[in-house]
Structure 1
């Protein structure tokens, strides 16, 4: 064990001590509570299955209380001037930056993400709040549409209390993406973090309280989808649900919200293609392919988990890729040298490792990896970064979302083949195109079925741009003004110039 890892473990233990001493409760109407029944579940670290503390599982009554608190606070928060909301959200960004190291280390221990990727989590989360804070004063603004005898204009009003349900893979960042625009728009929030990685959700709630958000504006409930999630999505006070999760969860939430006709933004799964043509910049494409599947342990909705590589460079590209994948450093999430950490939970570990046998059964070749590292590294959820080659797009490893450090390589010959293979999936979240031919890039951008495409780039997040998918990858967009469209109702006002003829009946 390196000296730096020892130091990081000691620091992390200090940050985690309070979670081990007392159960992590619920934050409702500005107060921490142990819930109506004080039911708890154990939280463990994927690094070694060590105990991180108990977490209160919210009951239906607890969720109802959070929703009612959000509803009671909604009118006053909506009426708070955008300039004042801006100040509060900037203070929230400051609070996050003060606790940047704590957030990074707690998140790494809670969900297994390497510290190298989590170090910027608080900074990026603060940037999310500041970006939307700056939009808050103008969030209500709409359009002015002039006609000869009427002028129409639109205004936007906050939709009311909203539910934000976030996943376990990068819980802190994804929570800030969703909650920041909701608060800036003037909505109140009930946040439900994933039960597998709940700790930074509590830190977020503490920072919101410290920033001066009024009671009831931010509420946080932990627990399981079957109880807390269901009660939240079905509650009549909740006017919209923003979910980041898998497609199966999205289907359940869509059914649960049907009776109350809630607005939904569902950011769901993906089986995203990275398409590398013969004429691509070889080294840059190789760097991007490796980064976009093996960073964040492959547990990223926009990861490029299918490599479509043109036949002219297939052998050379795969040879270089094998060398890079075999060289990736697997280790403890707090080790600064680690590039791939442990998978979030034993259940997910079992799912990912099951695809090693599935690949062989389907007839693919395991070029690199394909095994557990528990014998070598102890009880943590460690697996080898894995590369499947000689695969067909019909195989399960090419169609199902594995959500781990596992890449499936498929050969193609022509541009038309690439389009067909890219679109031959139930998903449509993201895609990546590598070519030096501008015309090819434009044609592919038009034909590939995805909500987001990057040309000659890895995933580069631009906050004003729309984020979301098509097909089974979800419904709706957020980012920039698209977020305000989701969290606000648009009202049209038509004003007559008193010059048009009013139709007459019965005079």
Structure 2
């Protein structure tokens, strides 16, 4: 461990008082109906950072009732695109104003580096602005090619009440990939953030109120998946559920929603490969691989957690990855120089370590890391940068989502073999290819079973481009114009405008 780049405790101060988080229901902040609460300890500093109301079925019922009434009364759905856009833009400005406060709470609750949190909050504000542009340009279609007697219209209408369930790894960014698009469409919402990271969603609720959003349009219920998430999913007054999280929970949501046949949009797990060919810009590829696996401590659905390297360059490439990995700053997330912070919970850290140890027992070669990381002055949980070579395609570490700073290395000989390894997975969220040959990149992009393919880069994202997966990585899309379409229903209006229709029943008979 001595040859790793470890950032010890910084001089940044943790707030003396914990954050108080309550439910937002029908425009007011409320404690739980039964008075229940829960606490969140910082995964990096082990200090109490949040005290939150613990929601139950009664709280969910009140929130859904408020969202249903607000939608049916047209408090938001009947407003103009201009008015919706104006409010979304105001929220974006307020996010920018409070960026430091939001980033600090996100860092304390999730353990991610403060510099990364700041960048994510900035990116979230940009998404709100992009969604505002969609609110102004939302339109249906008309068909005047149906003959002289007909005019056809396709109206785009908000789907209704949306349950939004978000994860702990990017709590503010992911709610910002869903909520502004739902609002741009005219929907109302009930949000449940992860019980591990509730604070920043509550802060967003404060900003929505300050921006002037009508009561009941957005409601927030804090607590656990059972009972809060379950009730939000099964209630017949909810028209749609959008969820980001594990594939297992996503499948459970589909089952719970099946009773009412409501729409479900899912952004789930990934086991995302990067394929490196010998003709690639290898230094750029090394940097992208290191970034892809350690970003957010690997607790990222887009984590580049497995690389597939041509056998002619595999040994030298892995050696370079190990060398660069030693230089990545791991440690106190409150230090701006830190690039990798804490693991979300002790239980999750144990799960990560189990994957590594079982791979080693099965014959894989742990080239770096493979153990907990001690950070001087901190009582939280951290894991070393870990590189595991000689991985075989059947090993769990090559097929399952480790969700930690752990890289699995496989090798290939031909393009066909590489693509077979890429597609030999239950997941299909993202994939990458590194080659200076545009034909190689294009063939890979067409044949890889993934919702996103990066060529000679990794994890670049834009509000204009859709994001989502295939296979067990989910269904539906976020961001881009597709992100708005998720929250809309198409209604056909067929209008007879002529008087030449022959009677179906002859009136003379």
Q: Same fold (TM over 0.5)?
A: yes
3-state SS in 2 of match to 1:52: strand
Quote how far apart the aligned CAs of 1:363 are: 1.2
Q: Is the 8 A contact 2:242 2:266 kept in 1?
A: yes
Q: Is the 8 A contact 1:362 1:396 kept in 2?
A: no
Q: Is the 8 A contact 1:99 1:122 kept in 2?
A: no
User: Is residue 409 of structure 1 aligned with residue 414 of structure 2?
Assistant: no
3-state SS in 2 of match to 1:260: coil
Deviates more, 1:26-35 or 1:113-122: 113-122
Q: Is the 8 A contact 1:373 1:383 kept in 2?
A: yes
Q: TM-score, normalised by structure 1?
A: 0.95
Quote how far apart the aligned CAs of 1:85 are: 1.0
Quote how far apart the aligned CAs of 1:499 are: 8.0
Tell me: CA distance 1:498–1:167, structure 2 relative to 1, closer, same or farther (3 Å). Answer: same
3-state SS in 2 of match to 1:79: coil
What per-residue deviation string (whole Å, max 9, x for no partner) do you get for residues 380-399 of structure 1? Answer: 11110100001111111001
Q: Is the 8 A contact 1:55 1:222 kept in 2?
A: yes
Deviates more, 1:141-150 or 1:428-437: 141-150
Output the CA distance in 2 between the equivalents of 1:100 and 1:273: 33
Partner of 2:103: 104
Partner of 1:363: 363
Tell me: CA distance 1:50–1:385, structure 2 relative to 1, closer, same or farther (3 Å). Answer: same
Q: Is the 8 A contact 2:7 2:331 kept in 1?
A: no
Quote how far apart the aligned CAs of 1:144 are: 4.0
Quote how far apart the aligned CAs of 1:496 are: 4.1
Partner of 2:114: 115
Structure 1: gaps spanning 5 or more residues: none
Partner of 1:13: 15
User: Is residue 73 of structure 1 aligned with residue 70 of structure 2?
Assistant: yes
What per-residue deviation string (whole Å, max 9, x for no partner) do you get for residues 38-87 of structure 1? Answer: 11112110013221232111010000100011111112210011111111
Output the CA distance in 2 between the equivalents of 1:396 and 1:308: 16
Deviates more, 1:413-422 or 1:368-377: 368-377
Quote how far apart the aligned CAs of 1:313 are: 1.5
What per-residue deviation string (whole Å, max 9, x for no partner) do you get for residues 301-349 of structure 1? Answer: 1111110011122122111111011222211111112121111112211
Partner of 1:212: 212
Quote how far apart the aligned CAs of 1:379 are: 2.9
Partner of 1:266: 266
Q: Is the 8 A contact 1:4 1:336 kept in 2?
A: no
Output the CA distance in 2 between the equivalents of 1:469 and 1:136: 25
Q: Is the 8 A contact 1:275 1:307 kept in 2?
A: yes
Correspondence 1:49-448 to 2 at 5 A: 49-74=46-71, 75-142=74-141, 144=143, 146-149=145-148, 150-374=150-374, 378-448=378-448
How many correspondences in the alignment? 499
Please provide the CA RMSD for this pair: 1.9
Q: Is the 8 A contact 1:140 1:157 kept in 2?
A: no
Output the CA distance in 1 between the equivalents of 2:415 and 2:377: 43
Tell me: CA distance 1:408–1:94, structure 2 relative to 1, closer, same or farther (3 Å). Answer: same
What per-residue deviation string (whole Å, max 9, x for no partner) do you get for residues 149-171 of structure 1? Answer: 44433110111110111000011
3-state SS in 2 of match to 1:78: coil
Output the CA distance in 1 between the equivalents of 2:100 and 2:141: 40
Q: TM-score, normalised by structure 2?
A: 0.94
Quote how far apart the aligned CAs of 1:484 are: 2.1
Structure 2: gaps spanning 5 or more residues: 1-5
Tell me: CA distance 1:378–1:105, structure 2 relative to 1, closer, same or farther (3 Å). Answer: closer
Output the CA distance in 2 between the equivalents of 1:496 and 1:407: 63
Tell me: CA distance 1:188–1:302, structure 2 relative to 1, closer, same or farther (3 Å). Answer: same
Quote how far apart the aligned CAs of 1:215 are: 0.5
Quote how far apart the aligned CAs of 1:501 are: 5.6
Q: Is the 8 A contact 1:326 1:369 kept in 2?
A: no
Quote how far apart the aligned CAs of 1:5 are: 2.5
Q: Could you say which structure has the higher helix fraction?
A: 1
3-state SS in 2 of match to 1:420: helix
